[in-house]
Structures are given as C-alpha cells and as structure tokens.
A and B are shown apart, each in its own frame.
Chain A
Amino acid sequence: MNIKLKIWRQKNSQAKGKFEKYTLDNVSPEMAFLEMMDFLNQKLIEEGKEPVAFEHDCREGICGCCSLYINGQPHGPRERTTTCELRMRFFKDGETITIEPFRSRVFPVIKDLIVDRSAFDKILIAGGFISADTGSAPEANSIPVCKHHSDKAFDMAACIGCGACVAACKNSSAMLFVAAKVTQFTLLPQGRVEAVERVKNMIAKMDELGFGSCSNTYACEAECPKGITVAAIAKLNREFLHAKIVAE
C-alpha cells in the first residue's frame, strides 16, 4: 500500500515545530505502525535527511513508551491498542496519516514526536509506592487478600503510564493515571496503610505540575490502551474526599 504522512517535526524543545509531508510506497499491510516509521526513517537516512525521532522500547504493548497522536487519537484508531501493536492494515491505501506528539504543557516536546513524560514519574514519587521492609519474601498467606479486590487491583496495575489519558483529555488531565495507581494500591491491604497520605500527596503533586482538572468527558476511558475505566476516577474522588474530610 501507498500512504501519505504528515508528521510533526521539531528540532528541540525550544524550536518552533512544523508539519512535514512524506509519501511512502510499498508499505506492507502486515507491517506494524512503528515498522512503517522505521521504514520511513531508513528512507530518510538513505536520502541524507534527518530521521523522525519517536519513542519506543518493548514494542509489545507493556512498556508505555510509544505515544504518538495518530489521526486525532492517541495510539491511533484501534481500541485498547498501543501504537506499537497497531498494524498498517488498519489504514486505507492512499490514506493521509497525521502524526503529532502528545500535546500538553506538562508533556513538553523534546524532539519531533518525543515528549517528556517525567511528570508521571514525579506523581509516582509523591505516593505511588508502598513502604515495606526488604529482605526475604514474607509468607504469602499471612495477609489475607479478597479475590475480588485482588482482581480489581490487577486490572488497575495494567496501566502502563503511557499518557494517552492526558493526550486525549481536552483538559490534559492526569486523573485516569492517578486513579489507576491510587486504586491499585488502595484495594490491597499492604497499600491501604498509607492510603490517606498517598492520595493527598499524589493529587497535590498532580495539581502542582499543572495538569488540568477532570470534566467527566471520558475521552481517557475511550483511549486507554489498557481499558482502565472512569470508575477508577470515581474511586479516586472517593478516596480523596475520605482523606480530606473523614480521615483528618
């Protein structure tokens, strides 16, 4: 298949970026989207041009590195699919594909399509952990865990922190990400201990970093490649209100 590409090019974080157009022939429908990008870069290198910078690592949908805002959607048109799992067969022959970086003041562009998502790390440093003694693993059955909660926590732990929620949200809100992390820890007895401080610290950090607030538009849920639902945001709100009103 032959495709036309419209890709955001930006030299560095200070430079003013612009779109550049490319045409790519002989693209196989079996190609992964990132393979297509590699194919393009190979062509650009052979032509003596600067290849397009984009972030990637595992290429199997678990590292959360690949971002890309493809044709008006983070991670492209497929539901519950990361950019790296996207195949070219989901696009039409001759189609123009517009690729932009995730847009948010909190995720500044480093180069071309790569954005700095360290804001998520800062939120996690503020409370996305449990405090436990190191050493040999304790007896597994010493702390009973309800099966239902364990399953739910596991669903939340599926969040790979890719930032699609922020990219999709009209307010660049990180609520779905924070909600997944808070819920994951809060549902388990080991995480429950620090629940009050955790939710307050993570929300305070999220606000301090400048993410927007939640408008309950639910674009995050629609675009999350790992299927985290907005029920998690309600749980986060509940935890936060509990921490602010009841626990103090």
Chain B
Amino acid sequence: MSGTIQVYLLVRQIYLIFKVMGKSVFKLSTISSKVIMGIAGLFLMLFLCVHLAINLLMLLGDEGQMFGKAVYFMTHNPAIKIFEYVLFTGFIIHITIGVLIWLRNYFVRPIKYAVTPRSKTSCFSRYMIHTGIIILIFLILHFTHFFFVKLGWVTGPEGIDTHDFLSMSKLLFTNPVYSSIYIVCFIFLGFHLNHALQSVFQTLGLNHPRYTPFIKVLSALYGIIIAVGFSIIPIYFLFFHTV
C-alpha cells in the first residue's frame, strides 16, 4: 500500500513540475532554456560524484560496513529525503528541456544535406540526445531494480532483503548480462559527460583563452572517472569477488 502511495506522490510531483514548467518552458529563449538545462545537469553531475563515492565503499573489503553506514545515512536522514525530491526535479527539468531543445532543433532543417557534413566538430556533442536516451533507459532499469523492488512492484530475487543494497548489488552484478549492460551504459554516460561539463561552462558564458583548455581536459577526465569508477564495481564482483 505504501508503494502505491509513493508512486502516486511521484506521479503527482511530475505533474506539478510540468504544470509549473509547462507554459513557461515554451516561452523561454533558446539561451535561457539551455542555461536551465545546463544548471540542472551540473547539479546532477555533483550528485553523480556522491553516488560514485558511496558505491566505491562496497569495494573496501570490510564486508560492507562502511557502505552500510553510508546507505543508512542516505536513507534515514531527513535532509536527504528532501534532497531526493530536488534531485528528481533536476532529472525531470534536465530531460524535459533537453528533449524540447532537440525537437526544436530537429525541425529547423527539413531537407538534410546530401553529403554528410565534413566540418570539424566536437564529436560527442552531436550525440547528446542519443547518449541521453541510453542513460534514461538505464535510469528506468536502475529504478526497476532498486526503487521498484523496494516498493514491492517488481519481485526481487528470492529470499533477499530488498533494503540490503549490498546483497542486491552483488546479486545483480554477478549476472554477466546485467553487468555488461551496466558498463556499456556508463561508457555512454562518460561520453555524455565529456561534452556536458565543458558545454555548461560555455553556455554560462565562462570562456577564457587561459582556462577553457583546462576545462576541456577536466571535462574529459570527469567523463572517464565516472565511467571507469562505476564500471569497476561490476567488474570486481564478476571477476574478483568470491561469495
């Protein structure tokens, strides 16, 4: 029952966000919508760092004691509960504006060029919507495996305490198919982030001959750290961990 209420609250929140965003988002200028999407993305990038730090605690080899403490803090602290809603709003804003921008841009050139464009461009920037969609599919998968199992909407593996994130992670990651999908998705997320960080600086007008090259390197590094950092965990459970 509590599951139903939570899903109802979730749907209601999405509805409220759209109600607030709905009219105004179409009135936004192209720059404003990009700025809002960028700031929401920047916020999600900060969240990813926290998420990665907590996930890596699984590898400490203390039978998940530190990880357990971190999870307990994240699930029981009231401030984090509020943060969850902010985070969710961040996702909705980032995805909705991203899709709207893509739709607007898609229809600006009704007749495409016959010759594939040969202009030198930053490669990952051309595929933000594609990598974004892959990440969205992954998010849905992620929600199905953690959030929905917790709610009882999706049946978890038999005899598992759905609140025990470590056991659930171990079970999921020892499945080669799940781990492969997980790693591939994070590689695409790495590509997405590679462009995202440097792009948000440009959108906010922060371009400087001295600092921009450094920001570009930092952006690439951030993408690599997130992709590699998250991928280490399934690789560890698949190949190096004995139950």
Contacts and interface: CB of A to CB of B under 8 A. Distances in A.
B78 interface: no
Given A98-B115, A203-B30, A223-B119, A212 B104 contact: yes
Nearest to B118: A72
B203 A237 contact: yes
Interface in B86-136: 101, 104-105, 107-122, 125-126, 128
A175 to B, nearest CB: 8
Nearest to A229: B207
Contacts of B34: 213-214
A221 to B, nearest CB: 9
A98 B115 CA distance: 7
A73 to B, nearest CB: 5
A13 B198 CA distance: 40
Contacts of A74: 119
Interface size class of B (residues with CB under 8 A): 35 or more
Interface in A103-148: 103-106
Given A203-B29, A206-B30, A219 B117 contact: yes
Interface string B189-225: 0000001001100111111010010000000000000
B31 interface: yes
B128 A215 contact: yes
Contacts of B126: 170, 215, 217
Interface stretch (A28-36, A37-45, A59-67, A238-246): A238-246
Contact of A69 (B31, B113, B209): B113
A58 B109 CA distance: 29
A91 interface: no
Contacts of A240: 29, 31
B29 A100 contact: no
A149 B116 CA distance: 38
Contacts of A244: 32
Given A72-B118, A219-B121, A237 B108 contact: no
B164 to A, nearest CB: 43
B33 interface: yes
Contacts, number: 134
Interface string B12-42: 0000000000000000011111110000000
Contacts of A8: 114
A195 interface: no
Give the one of B34, B117, B204 with max A CB within 10 A. Answer: B117
Contacts of A168: 117, 119
Contacts of B109: 103-105, 170-172, 212
Given A98-B115, A211-B108, A230-B202, A218 B35 contact: no
A72 B117 contact: yes
Contact of B205 (A204, A210, A218, A235): A235
Interface of B: 29-35, 101, 104-105, 107-122, 125-126, 128, 195, 198-199, 202-207, 209, 212
Interface of A: 6, 8, 19, 69, 71-74, 77, 98, 100, 103-106, 168, 170-173, 203-204, 206-207, 210-219, 222-223, 230-231, 233-241, 244
6 contacts: A105-B110, A203-B31, A213-B31, A216-B125, A219-B121, A234-B207
9 closest residue pairs by CB, A with B: A238-B205, A234-B207, A213-B30, A171-B105, A72-B118, A72-B115, A237-B205, A219-B119, A212-B105
